[in-house]
Structure 1
């Protein structure tokens, strides 16, 4: 069985120092973790997720009919692409560097990738972008193109600087995809949701109809419910202050070791080492980074921001010649 490249645990288990994922390293959020642990797994959730939809809608100040629930961001990406194909979509626009599932879903449904967003039926945006953590430079022209646009906001809650490149009026015209498990430090709980554009309630209903029964289990419902509470949001705001300091320290470490880091507004950074890395050697000492070749950025590694103890372990390993090829 082959799987798409991804960070996190592998055949060797959970890395002791896992820089390869972008989860909030201050987590898990205590209130969200408690909600997940107390979830009633003995019973099915409400198949319509009525209370959850209303909670998320209130959190974002939108109509509940605009909330589309999904098993994960990747599940939504696949379902949305399938819906577009059913509606006659044939061409897709993607950022130059992007999460691989956008292209994977497009290829599965035989979409042609185009470079001019005005020719696209479907377009994907991500801010802060993955893997770079920056503003998408073509976002405004993509929104104005007339395509169905999905803005992946997985890392918006973990933004450490800057601001979204789209104004509120533009945001109301696009689909907004949210995956709070990263911000809550609970990536093992799969669950996501999208907010449909203002005048796309019928389209949101069509996407709901394409979903399997109960796309969210009890634990995902608990996580998303907790995410929308003031307690979790206050914890998140405080965690960002810590992450900013950890990021400053991590960038200083990489610079001292001769790495060239690219700009990033998020809780991760892409950087090029002074010479090629031996990833298996790093993994053998409990450290995992994310090779960005699958994103379209060879020669670089994405590193999530981790606490000083993890940074010290990384520094020690990188100073040893055996982790370089």
Structure 2
């Protein structure tokens, strides 16, 4: 039998949250009866403007090939971020962008630095391209700049999730600058994953670091903020040289015309207003949820994102017990945290159901 390249033999498929139909059936539920706390999506989305745009789809919208490099959408995203279109790449979700970065920059034996407890896709994508993975320890389950910098050697690729998934802690602009100084010193590439960027109050714009002399790529997505995982759009911000390299690696027509049109509706004042209202609601919901959980004697990590990570005795068992109540939470064992579960902040009535179920299970 014809064999794959050797790197694939050492790759494990990462685990993700979300509903699994067979598992739900086992407990006697249908997907509509389940409350999903395992995927950190905006419970108030998608906004109506997304649905209206989808309904406007005509035959000609699917009769022709889409704009292969998403030129019009790149221009709109660039305007929103006060950058040039040449500073933007649009991809089929952030997963494609992670793969593109690994394909473009990870060579055989490239050191790839990843925090000890973080998003699971950086490692397999890097390993497929021959990387040597180096984990930066996280004392008290918090990102530590000094621990990260200590692992960086010449010609490394450094992945940082900010705010970090699953712990939710957020590095400051000063922290990012410190890592960037280290990557400059070692001729390395810094990749910042900002999947939860839209849930932060006063987030960084990064215009000051998206410069030709800086080897940094910022990754973002519309999936979480607008609750549109089925649309599959992510984008990257970087200097013109890195975007040019990534575009060379990208497959043609990676993003369809309908997703491109849908995302344009999210670059409007109406979408901004939707997110402003969402942030206020989720901030209030999170405060009450955190207090209610801690009143049960459970510890939570310090999270700046739209989710909380809770310490329990056994994450797998707790998840199974909560499933019996029609609630799915994220078992953090795959993050290297077998005593923690991650829960998305949802609507108030849903959060109360979770707290009530947690009280029974502990």
Same-fold status (TM-score > 0.5): yes
Q: In 1, distance between residues paired with 2:358 and 2:307?
A: 18
Matched, 1:45 2:66: yes
Deviates more, 1:29-38 or 1:54-63: 29-38
After the TM superposition, which residues 159-174 of structure 1 pair with which residues of structure 2 at under 5 Å, given as runs? 159=200, 164=204, 169-170=208-209, 172=211, 173=214, 174=216
CA contact (8 A) 2:111 2:153 kept: no
Correspondence for 1:213: 252
2:225 is paired with a residue whose SS is coil
1:6 to 12, 16, 32: 16
Correspondence for 1:81: 102
Deviations 1:163-193 (A, max 9, x none): 55x9753354321111012111212221111
Q: In 1, distance between residues paired with 2:353 and 2:299?
A: 19
Matched, 1:228 2:267: yes
Q: In 2, distance between residues paired with 1:229 and 1:119?
A: 42
Q: In 2, distance between residues paired with 1:3 and 1:92?
A: 18
Correspondence for 1:250: 289
Deviations 1:194-215 (A, max 9, x none): 0113xxx233122112111211
Residue 89 (structure 1) shift:
7.0
After the TM superposition, which residues 170-189 of structure 1 pair with which residues of structure 2 at under 5 Å, given as runs? 170=209, 172=211, 173=214, 174-189=216-231
Residue 261 (structure 1) shift:
0.7
Correspondence for 1:17: 35
Q: In 2, distance between residues paired with 1:59 and 1:220?
A: 18
Correspondence for 2:180: 143
Name the CA shift for 1:118/1:141 in 2 (closer, same or farther; >3 Å): farther
Correspondence for 1:288: 328
Correspondence for 2:341: 301
Q: In 2, distance between residues paired with 1:272 and 1:265?
A: 17
1:9 is paired with a residue whose SS is coil
What is the TM-score with the length of structure 1 in the denominator? 0.88
1:72 to 59, 80, 93: 93
Matched, 1:192 2:197: no
Deviations 1:188-245 (A, max 9, x none): 2211110113xxx233122112111211123321232122111101110111000011
Deviations 1:27-74 (A, max 9, x none): 112223322343445233222322111111111111111111111111
| Gap regions ≥5 residues in structure 1 | none
Deviates more, 1:205-214 or 1:260-269: 205-214
> What root-mean-square deviation, in Å, do the aligned CA atoms of Structure 1 and Structure 2 show?
2.3
Name the CA shift for 1:124/1:266 in 2 (closer, same or farther; >3 Å): same
Residue 149 (structure 1) shift:
1.1
Name the CA shift for 1:275/1:111 in 2 (closer, same or farther; >3 Å): closer
Name the CA shift for 1:118/1:36 in 2 (closer, same or farther; >3 Å): farther
After the TM superposition, which residues 46-65 of structure 1 pair with which residues of structure 2 at under 5 Å, given as runs? 46-65=67-86
Runs of 4+ in 1 over 4 A off after TM superposition: none
Q: In 2, distance between residues paired with 1:206 and 1:167?
A: 20
CA contact (8 A) 2:313 2:339 kept: no
1:119 to 112, 132, 154: 154
Name the CA shift for 1:4/1:113 in 2 (closer, same or farther; >3 Å): closer
CA contact (8 A) 2:106 2:157 kept: no
Q: In 2, distance between residues paired with 1:21 and 1:180?
A: 14
Correspondence for 1:28: 46
Residue 298 (structure 1) shift:
2.3
Q: In 2, distance between residues paired with 1:51 and 1:163?
A: 25
| Gap regions ≥5 residues in structure 2 | 1-11, 25-29, 137-150
Residue 264 (structure 1) shift:
0.8
CA contact (8 A) 2:35 2:326 kept: yes
Residue 139 (structure 1) shift:
3.3
Q: In 2, distance between residues paired with 1:126 and 1:156?
A: 10
